[in-house]
Amino acid sequence: MLKRSIAILIICFAVYWSFSALLPSKISTIEAPETSFSSHRALVQLKEISKKPHFLGNQAHQEVRDYIVKELEKLGLETQIQEGYSLSKWGNLSKPKNIIARIKGSDTSKALLLLSHYDSNPHSSLGASDAGSGVVTILEAIRAFLAENKTPKNDIIILISDGEELGLNGADIFVNKHPWAKEVGLVLNFEARGSGGPSYMLIETNQGNANLMKEFVKANPEFPVANSLAYSIYKMLPNDTDLTRFRTDKDIDGFNFAFIDDHFDYHTALDTYARLDRNTLEHQGSYIMPLLHHFSNANLNNIKSTEDYIYFTVPAFKTVIYPFSWIWPMFILAVIGFIGLLIYGFKKNSLSVSAILKGFIPFFTSLIVSAMFTFLAWQAIQFIYPQYQEMLHGFTYNGHAYIAAFTCLALAICFYSYHIFKNNEKPVNLLVAPLFFWLLICLVVALQLKGASFFIIPVYFGLISLFLMIRQQKPSVILLALLGIPLLFILAPLVKMLPVGLGLKMVFVSAIFVVLIFGLLISVLGFLKHKKRWAYCFVLLGSIFLIKAHFQSKFTKETPKPNSLLYILDTNENTAVWATYDTILDAWTTSFLTDNPDQASALLKNTIASKYKTNFTFTKKAAVKNIAKPKIEITHDTIIGNNRQLAICVTSQRNAARYEVFSDSTTVFNSFVINGVSAIPEETTGTVFNKRPSNRLFSYYVSDKEPLDMILTVPATQKTELQIYEATYDLLTNKELNLPQREAEMIPKPFVLNDAIVTKSRISIQ
C-alpha cells in the first residue's frame, strides 16, 4: 500500500514538475545588475507603450513610435524610420513606419536581427502583450548587452516593425526594400497570442533545422519550451508573423518566441499592462539574453542545413535533439523490441494471448468513449451557453476549467473501463495494448508528421516497464512510476496547450492524450485496487470543475462580453442601418437593433476583411445622420485598344482610418495600382484579383491622412462597378450620433471592423 502511494505521488509530482519547469518562478527586480535583464525595468517601458490603443495611423501610434526612438537614442543608438506602401498577400495595403537601429560588430559577416512590432491591433487593443512585450524585451536586452561594453563579432540590427497586425507590411518593406536586409543572417522574433503562459520557440526555415537547433542548444536558454510537433502544426495554420516574410521572401532563417495562454485577451481591450503575466515576460528575457550573446558572436554564415532534427524539451535535460534520420531506425528497433518482449513473455508464461486480447477492450473503450464523450459534451456546452459564440478566439474565459474537467472525466472513464473489464490475469498483459497502439501512432507520424516522432521516447520507457513486469512477478511499482516520468514530462503539457493554442474545439484531442498517457502508466495504475472508487473521485473532480466553469460562464467586468456595432450609411441610396456581427444581442446592442432585428442579408455579399472571415448577423434601419461622404473623382479615363484605363482618387472628408473596396467577383481587372503599389498578376491569365472567392478586392489602412489613389485597367466593353466602404473608429465619440458608452461588462469585439461609422459608395463605369 505504501509503495503504491509513493508511486502515485511520483506521478503527481512529475505532472506538477512538467508544468512548473516551463516558466521562471522568480521575477528579476529593478535592482538587478546593469548587465542582466530586468523584467521590472522592462515593465516601466511597457506601461508607457500600452497606455492607449496604438494602431497604424492614430495619434497614439505616433506617440509610441517617438517613445521607442527616444529609448533607443538613450542607449546611444542612431535610429532611422523606414516608410513605404506595402500590399500584403491578404490584400491589406498600408504605409508602415519601421524603427531601425544598428550596433556595429567587429566582423563583416552576417548580422543578427532582433525583431518585434509596435503597432497594436485596430482598434481597441492596448497591445501590451502583442507585441509591447516583445518591444520592451528587446529594449531591455539591448540595454543590458551594451552595459557590458563588449563589441560583438556580428552586427546587431534592431527592427521594431510597423503594420504587422495589418498584414506583415512593415516586415515586407524591410525585407524587400531596405539595403540591410541582405546582410541579415538570423532573426530572433518576439511575439504573443495571449497574455500569459510559457513562450514557445518555433523555427522558421525553408530547409533543414539541424544547425539552428545545434546552435540553440549551445546558447543554452534556461527555460526552453519547444518541440518539433508544435512547428509542424504551426506550419499548417494560417498564422504568420513578421518572421515569415524573412523566410519566404529572402530565405532568412529565424526563431519565433511567442506565448499563447490566456488567449481570450488576444487583440482585445484586455491586452493591458496589468494582465500581462510577469513570469511570461521574464521567460522572454530568459530567452533573449543567452541567444543574443551567443548569436552575436556565432558564425551566421554556417546555419543553413539540409538536415532536419527532431527536438523537444524536458525539465533538467532542457532541449533534446536528434536527426530525422533516426526516426525509422528508432521505430524499427522499438517494434523489434516489442515483438521480442512478446516472445519473451510467452516463454516465461507471463503473457497469454487471451489476457492480452482482453486488455485491448478497456483501452480501446477508454479511447473511443473519452474522445466521443468530450467531443459531444463540448457541442452540448456550446448549445447550453450560446454566449461562447461571441468569443471568436475559440477559447473562453473559463477555458482552463473545461480542460481540467475533461481531463478528470477522461481519467474517470479510463479507471471505470478497467474496472468493468477486469482482467484476472497478470497486470503485465494490460500494457501490451497501449504499447501496440503507441507503435501505430509512431508509424503514422513517421509517415505523415515527422515532427511528432519524439513520441517514440515514451514508448522505449514503456518497453522497459514491460520487460520488468515480464521478468519479475511483482516488480517495484516505484521503479515503474519513475519510468513513467519521461512520458509525463513530454506529453502532460500537451494536454493543456493543444486546446489553449487551437481552441476548445480541440479539447477532445486532449482527452485522447489523457487515455494514451494512462495506457502507458497502466504498469503502475494497473496495480491499484478500487478502480471504481478512483473513477468516482475523478467524476467528482470533473463535476467540480464543470460547476466552476458554469459559475464563470457569465460575463463580468473582469470577463467582459465582446460585442460589436457599426453605423453604415449608403451614400447613393441615402439610407442607414445599424449592423452587428453578434449572434446574441445584449442590452447595449439591443438598444439600437431592437428585440426584433433584421437579418443582415443585404450586407452579406461584401464581407469586410477580418481574421476569421466573420460576417454581419443583424441590421436595423437607422436615422440618416449628417456624415460627410468621401470625395470620389475619376481623374483619368482613356480607352486604348481593348483596354480602358481609369484613375480614381478617393479623398476622405472625415479623416478615414480604413477603406474596403469591392467589386463583383466576375469583374475582370487587367491591372490595378493602389497608391503606387501594383497588385500581383495571376501567372496564367495575367489579370489581377483573379479567381477571388468573394467580392473583396483590398483594404487600405490610412496613415498621414493620405487619399486612396487607384489606377486600374479593365476590358473596354466591361461594365465595371466598385463599392467603396470608408470607415472611421468614432462611433462612440461622434456628436452626430451621441451614443451611450458600453456597460462595464462589455468590450469591443476583436478581429472585426468595430465601433465604426461606415459610408458605402458605388462607382459605376459604363
All domains of the chain in start order, with CATH: 2-16+325-551 (no CATH), 41-314 (3.40.630.10), 558-766 (no CATH)
Residue 346 has pLDDT above 70, yes or no: yes
Q: What per-residue confidence (pLDDT) applies to 239?
A: 67
Plot region of 518 (φ>0 → left; ψ -120 to 50 → alpha; else → beta)? alpha
Give per-residue pLDDT as tens, 484-534.
999 999 999 999 999 998 899 999 999 999 999 999 999 998 888 889 999
Q: What per-residue confidence (pLDDT) applies to 422?
A: 75
Q: How far apart are CA 616 and CA 600, in angstroms?
A: 6
Q: What per-residue confidence (pLDDT) applies to 238?
A: 64
Banded pLDDT at 424 (limits 50, 70, 90): low
Give per-residue pLDDT as tens, 308-327.
999 999 998 999 999 999 99
Q: How far apart are CA 432 and CA 337, in angstroms?
A: 12
Q: What per-residue confidence (pLDDT) applies to 425?
A: 66
Q: How far apart are CA 187 and CA 117, in angstroms?
A: 13
Residue 343 has pLDDT above 70, yes or no: yes
Q: Quote the DSSP letter at residue 264.
A: G
Cβ distance 590 to 620 under 8 Å?
Answer: no
pLDDT cut 70: percent of the chain above it: 99
Nearest to 107 by CA among 151, 164, 58: 151
Angle in degrees, 0-180, between the axes of helices 507-520 and 432-448, rounded to the nearest 10? 130
Q: How far apart are CA 42 and CA 54, in angstroms?
A: 19
Residue 473 has pLDDT above 80, yes or no: no
Residue 176 has pLDDT above 90, yes or no: yes
Cβ distance 217 to 320 under 8 Å?
Answer: no
Among all chains, which residue has been given the C-alpha cell 496589468?
A: 274
Mean pLDDT of 710-729: 95
Cα 116 to Cα 158, 181, 213, 249, 549: the distances in Å are 9, 15, 22, 18, 35
Give per-residue pLDDT as tens, 187-218.
999 999 999 999 999 999 988 999 999 999 99
Q: Which residues pair with 86 in a beta bridge?
A: 94
| Averaged pLDDT score across all residues of the chain | 94
Q: What per-residue confidence (pLDDT) applies to 603?
A: 86
pTM of the entire predicted model: 0.94
Banded pLDDT at 108 (limits 50, 70, 90): confident
Q: What per-residue confidence (pLDDT) applies to 526?
A: 83
Cβ distance 356 to 433 under 8 Å?
Answer: yes
Banded pLDDT at 231 (limits 50, 70, 90): confident
142's CB contacts (< 8 A; 6+ apart) are 72, 75, 77, 103, 114, 156, 158
Q: What per-residue confidence (pLDDT) applies to 472?
A: 86
Banded pLDDT at 426 (limits 50, 70, 90): confident
Cβ distance 287 to 206 under 8 Å?
Answer: no
Task: Name the grid cell of 580.
Answer: 452587428
Q: How far apart are CA 93 and CA 56, in angstroms?
A: 11
Banded pLDDT at 464 (limits 50, 70, 90): very high
pLDDT cut 90: percent of the chain above it: 89
Residue 627 has pLDDT above 90, yes or no: yes
CA angle at 594 for the pair 589 and 597, rounded to the nearest 5° = 95
